[in-house]
Structure 1
Amino acid sequence: MLAYERLIALDGAHNVRDLGGYRTANGGLTRWRSILRGDGLHRLSAGDIDTLLDNGIRTVIDLRNAHEIAAEPNPFTGHARVRYHNTPLFSALAPVEMMADAAVSFDMSDRYCQAIDDCQPAIAEVLKIIADAPDGAVLFHCSAGKDRTGVISALLLANAGVDEATIIEDYALTATISGPLIATLRERALGRGTPVALVDIVLASKPHSMQQLIRYIRENYDGFEGYLRGLGVQHGTLTRLGERLLHNP
């Protein structure tokens, strides 16, 4: 059996990783090289792009806003072999360098819960793009690959039947595998005058934040299934979305 690595080794990105290999409720595994999550791609080298293509990437979904893309363009815009989509998510979930005036007392899970409430049309659009993507792997990403990307990942894994403990573990992986990325974002934010305590809160990937989001979805939407149904996404789309991340029978 082919062995896969969850983290895709790249020179210009540090948090591109696979959602494959997770156990599902029916005893199966999520499919490798079908859906990947990631951080900013603007520093990818030509070799990095070839690596992603060799790993089957044929669709890229950029979750960043217009300001972020203007400052750090996506290398897959107009690419001959990749379908590129831009669906901005979570405008309230600003990049750390834009949060100098935020209160140090806030919790990242509050932002996630707010986004779950306020960004439903955009979330539905992202899920539909993934469900309807052509053959090949889908890569969706933001800037750090943990907040906007983390919420979408949680919804995808839950829809595929992955349990809550594993969803939390997947979220927390950023803290253990993305040291260079987090260090760069931290230095940049501190250079802009953002308080140290706030930077550390925003850049953390503590399990608590995803635990709180899952609790919020359970209490306010009757769980992930209820939330996904409430998005207005057609049943067939959710079925295709789950099948895309699951092994074929």
Structure 2
Amino acid sequence: MSVLSWPGCGNVRDLGGLPTLWGGRTRTGALVRSARPGPPATPALLGYGVRLVVDLRLAAECAADPSPLAGHPCYRNLSVLRDEDRVLEAMGDTLPAIYRAVLDRGADRLARVVTAIARAEPGAVLLHCHAGRDRTGLAVALALALAGVPDAHIARDYARSGESLPAPAEGLWAQVTEDTMLRTLAYLRDEYGGPESYLGLDRDVVRLLRARLTHP
């Protein structure tokens, strides 16, 4: 995993180099996460080889604050929240509770995101929401878990988003820690049997995702 510096875009990381349970590593240049890119980031991300940008925000957010890539062939808006779930803080009292609620309500939407990653054209896929922390964190966690990345490494990457905030985290956002993601992944296993059964993906999609994200 490496931190990238793109003008007009924060919290950018290439998720290559992470170990997998099967002895390989994730590919560099396959999956990138970030906060919402600003206009100056467009040349940098396209120059990095990004061929699919998945904007995880609600349609209403995208209408109020359009992506600079809206209208570009590489851009897709695939919200992981229901239209009525506009305020994350209203979905639970803690971050683990909020993430459980997102998982409970959003399997079909998260499955669309993971399928888009698996079926993307050759090149990097960029996932982002607003801060690149919560919705992006969940979508990335599912993709990495399917690819065989151990929980500890998924949680460590997630916690980097808390460290990258421009100001000291307060309230709920002080809970962007490894423990929060570890608890979320444990809930996914205990309640749904793990990411594969939770998402209900075809075996071909899982195979494509693993081939895309990992080295043998």
Superposed CA offset, 1:170-197 (max 9, x none)? 1101122x232x57xx8xxxxxxxxxxx
1:116 lines up with 2:107 in the alignment: no
Q: How far is the alpha carbon of 1:218 from its aligned partner?
A: 1.7
1:44 lines up with 2:53 in the alignment: no
* Structure-to-structure mapping, 1:213-224, within 5 angstroms: 213-224=184-195
Aligned-residue identity in percent: 37
- For residue 24 of structure 2, give the secondary structure of its aligned residue in structure 1: coil
- Structure 2 gaps of 5+ residues are none
Letter in 1 for 2:205: T
Superposed CA offset, 1:52-74 (max 9, x none)? 11210011010001221122211
Aligned to 1:10: 6
| Runs of 4 or more consecutive aligned structure 1 residues displaced over 3 Å after TM superposition | 91-96
Residues 141 and 149, structure 1, Cα contact 8 Å, conserved in 2: yes
Q: How far is the alpha carbon of 1:112 from its aligned partner?
A: 0.8
Superposed CA offset, 1:63-108 (max 9, x none)? 00122112221111122xx421111112476457xx5xx59x8111
Candidates 73, 90, 96, aligned match of 2:81: 90
Q: Measure, in 2, the Cα distance between the counterparts of 1:224 and 1:59.
A: 22
Q: Measure, in 2, the Cα distance between the counterparts of 1:24 and 1:203.
A: 28
Residues 107 and 209, structure 1, Cα contact 8 Å, conserved in 2: no
Q: Measure, in 2, the Cα distance between the counterparts of 1:94 and 1:149.
A: 15
Q: Measure, in 2, the Cα distance between the counterparts of 1:22 and 1:44.
A: 30
Q: How far is the alpha carbon of 1:224 from its aligned partner?
A: 2.9
What is the root-mean-square deviation of aligned Cα atoms in Å? Answer: 2.1
1:75 lines up with 2:46 in the alignment: no
Q: How far is the alpha carbon of 1:203 from its aligned partner?
A: 5.9
Aligned to 1:61: 54
Q: Measure, in 2, the Cα distance between the counterparts of 1:95 and 1:50.
A: 32
Candidates 126, 142, 151, aligned match of 1:139: 126
Q: Measure, in 2, the Cα distance between the counterparts of 1:31 and 1:90.
A: 28
Residues 133 and 162, structure 2, Cα contact 8 Å, conserved in 1: no
TM-score where L is the length of structure 1: 0.79
Residues 93 and 111, structure 1, Cα contact 8 Å, conserved in 2: no
Superposed CA offset, 1:110-134 (max 9, x none)? 1111111111111111111111111
- Structure 1 gaps of 5+ residues are 187-198
Q: How far is the alpha carbon of 1:204 from its aligned partner?
A: 4.1
- For residue 11 of structure 2, give the secondary structure of its aligned residue in structure 1: coil
Aligned to 1:30: 26
